[in-house]
Structure 1
Amino acid sequence: MSLWYDEHLVLIQATMVSVLFALSIQVPLRFGVFSFAGVGSYGIGAYATAILVTRYEYPVFGALAAGALAAALIGYGLAWLLQRLSGLYLAMATVAFDLLVSVLAVNGGEVTGGATGLFGVVADVTTLHIFLVTVVVLAVVAASEHGRLGRKIAVVREDPELSAALGIEVHRVRRAAFVASGTLGGLAGGLNTAITTTIAPGNIDFALIVLAVTMIVVGGASSWKGAVIGAFVFTWLPTVLAFVGDWKGVGYGIVVAAVAIWLPGGVVGVTGDALRKLTSRRRTARLPDRESPAPGPAGPSRDEAPQGNRKTHPQEQT
C-alpha cells in the first residue's frame, strides 16, 4: 500500500486539486448561473501564487490566500458586469473572460513570464495540507445544499421570477455564485502551482474549459458529489487508458460520448433516479392490497347481524 501511494502521489494530489477546480464550475451551475468563470479564476490564482512566491518571496499560504481573494474580487466585479446576461449568452461571456486571462498571461512580459510562464515556485505544501483544504471546502459546499440556504438556492435556480416575488434578491444570489466560483477556482490554481512548481499559459487555455465541462457532464451538476466523481474519473482516466498508447484520445472521447448519451444527468443524476425508483417500489410492495378482504370470520354471526336484516322469531313478536 505504501509503495502504491508513493508511486501515485502526484495523481492523488492532482485529484484533490481537480475536485476544487470542478467545484468552481459545479457551484454556480447549482445556483442556476451558467458560468465557466472558474477556469479564469484558476489562472488568476495560479499566476498570483507564482508571482508572489517567486518575485516577492511571500510565504506560500499567504500567496494562496491572496490569489483566492483576488479571484473572488474579480469574480464579484464580473458578476456586476454580466448581471443582465443569462443562459447561453452568460456562458459565452464567461468563456471570453477565461480566454482573456490566458491572453493576458501570454502578453504579461516579465511579470507572468510570457509564453514560457513561471518556474521554480518553491513551496512546502504537503498532501496533508491539500487534503485538509479539500475536506473543509467539501464540508462547506455540502452544507450549502441543505437547510434554508439549500432551499433558497433551489428556488432561485428553478424559478427566478418566483424567487423575486418571494422577496429573494436574485442578483445577490448570482453574485454570491460568482464569488464562490472565483474563490474555489483561485484556490485550485494556486495549489496546483504550489505542487507542480510551475505555471504557463498552456495550462489555462481552452482545453481547460473543455476539461471542466466534461467533468461536470460525467459527474453531474446537481450535487458536489458530481464534481468529485468527475474529478476522479478525468484525473485517473489517462493513466487507466495508457495501455492503448496513441489511441488514448479515442478512448477518452468514447467514454465522454457514452456518458452523454446514456447518462444525461451524469453519474449522480442517474444514481439518484435509480435509488428513488427502488425506494418507491419497496414502499409499494409494503402497502396492503386494498382489493383483498380483511382477515376475519367469513361473515357476521346471528347476534351481530344488522337489525334491519334480522328475521324476528314468532315468539319474539309477542
Structure 2
Amino acid sequence: MSSVYDSNLVLIQSALVAVLLALSIQVPLRLGVFSLAGVGSYGIGAYVSANLVLRYELGSIPTMALSALAAAAVSFLLGVVIYRLAGLYLAMATIAFDLTVAVVALNGGEWTGGPVGLFGVFTDLTMGLLFAVVALCLVAVHVTEIGRLARRVTTVREDPELAASVGINVRAYRLTAFVVSGLVGGLAGCLNTLTRSAVGLQDVSFHLVVLALTTVIVGGALSWRGAVIGSVLFTWLPTALAFVGDWQELVYGAIVVLAAIFLPTGLYGAWCSARRQFAVSFVGRRREAAVRARLHQGNVDKEVAAS
C-alpha cells in the first residue's frame, strides 16, 4: 500500500491542488457569478508564495496565509470594478484578468523570473498539512451547501430580484464570492508552488482556465463533491490514456464532449438524480404493496363476515 502511495505521490498532490482550483471556479458559479478569475488568483498565489519563500524564507503556513490574502485582496478589487457585468461579459472580463496576470508574470523581471520562472522554492510543507488545508476548505464550502445559508445561496443564483426583495444583500454575496474565489485560488497556486518547488508561465496559462472549467462542469457545478470527482478524474485521466499515444488529446476531448451532452449536471448530479429516482421507485413499490395488503385484508374480512 505504501509503495502505491509513494509511486502516485505527485498525482495525489496534483489532485489536491486541482480540487482547490476547481472550488475557486465553483464557488462563484453557485452564486450565479460566471467568474473565471480564480485562475488569475492561482497565478498570483503561485508567484507571491515563491517570492515569500525565496526572499524572506517564510515557512509554509505564513506563506499560505499571505499568498491567499494577497489573491483575495486583488479579487475583491476586481469584483468591485466589474460587479455590474453578468453572463458572458463577466466571463470575458475575468478571462482578461487571467491573461493580464500572465502578461505580468512574463514581464515581471526578477520578481517572476520571466519566461524561465522561479526555482528552489523549498519549505517545510508536509502531505499531512496539505491534506488538512484541503479538508478544511472542503468543510468550509460544505457549510455553505446546507441549511439556511444554502437556501440563500440558491435564491441569489436563481432569482436575484426575489433575494433582494426578502432582504438578502445580493451585492455583498457576490462580492464575497469573488473574495472566496480569490482566497481559494491563491491558496491553490501557493500549494502548487510549494509542492513542485518552482513556478513558471505554465501556472498562469490559458489551459488552466479550460482545465478548471471542464473539471467543474464534468464533475458537477453545484457541490464540492463534483469538484472532487472532476479533479480526481482529470488528474488521473492523462495517465490512464497514455496507452493511446498521440490520440490522447482526441480521446480526452471526446470524453469531455460526451460528458457535457449526456451528463449536463455532471457526474455527481447524475448520481444524485439516479439516487432520487431509485428512492421514489422504492417508496412507490412499498406503498403499492401496502395498498395491496390492505385490499387483501379487506377482502378477507368481508369473507369472514359473510360466513
Residue 243 of structure 1 and its aligned partner are, at CA, apart by 1.3
Instruction: Provide Cα deviations, 1:51-82, integer angstroms capped at 9, x if missing partner.
Output: 11112222232121111001111111111111
Q: Which protein has the larger Cα radius of gyration, Structure 1 or Structure 2?
A: 1
Question: 2: distance between equivalents of 1:9 and 1:169?
Answer: 44
Partner residue of 1:193? 193
Q: CA deviation at 1:165?
A: 0.4
Letter in 2 for 1:42: Y
Shift of 1:195: 0.7
Shift of 1:203: 2.2
Q: Which residue in 1 is equivalent to 2:71?
A: 71
Question: Which residue number in structure 1 is paired with residue 205 of structure 2?
Answer: 205
TM-score scaled by length of structure 2: 0.94
Distance, in Å, in 1 between the alignment partners of 2:215 and 2:223 is: 13
* Structure 2 equivalent of residue 262 of structure 1: 262
Secondary structure of 1:85's counterpart equals coil
* Whole-Å separation in 1 of the counterparts to 2:58 and 2:103: 25
Structure 1 residue 202, shift from structure 2 partner: 2.3
- Per the TM alignment, residue 258 of structure 1 is displaced from its structure 2 partner at its CA by 1.4
Counterpart Cα distance in 1 of 2:104 and 2:202: 12
- Matched with 1:316 is none
Distance in 1 between the 2:303 and 2:208 partners? 76
Contact 2:46 2:203 in 1 (8 A): no
Task: Give the equivalent residue in structure 2 for 1:298.
Answer: 302
Give ranges in structure 2 of 5+ residues lacking alignment: none
**TM-score relative to the length of structure 1:** 0.91
The answer on 1:247 being equivalent to 2:251 is: no
Greater share of helix = 2
Task: Quote the residue 2:38 is aligned against.
Answer: 38
CA contact (8 A) 2:59 2:124 kept: no
**Structure 1: runs of 5 or more not aligned:** 303-318
CA-to-aligned-CA distance 1:139-173 (integer Å, 9 cap, x gap): 11111100111111111111000000001010000
1:246 is displaced (CA, Å) by: 1.7
Q: Aligned pairs, how many? A: 302
Name the residue aligned to 1:141: 141
- Indicate how the Cα distance of structure 1 residues 191 and 301 shifts in structure 2: closer, same or farther if over 3 A, else same: closer
SS of alignment partner, residue 141 of structure 1 = helix
| CA pair 297-60 structure 1, distance change in 2 beyond 3 A | closer
Give the secondary-structure state (helix, strand or coil) at the position aligned to 2:16: helix
Question: Post-superposition shift, 1:217?
Answer: 1.2
Question: Aligned-pair distance for 1:87?
Answer: 1.2
The alignment yields a C-alpha RMSD, in angstroms, of 1.6
Q: Runs of 4+ in structure 1 displaced over 4 angstroms? A: 290-294, 299-302
The answer for the alignment partner of 2:2 in structure 1 is 2
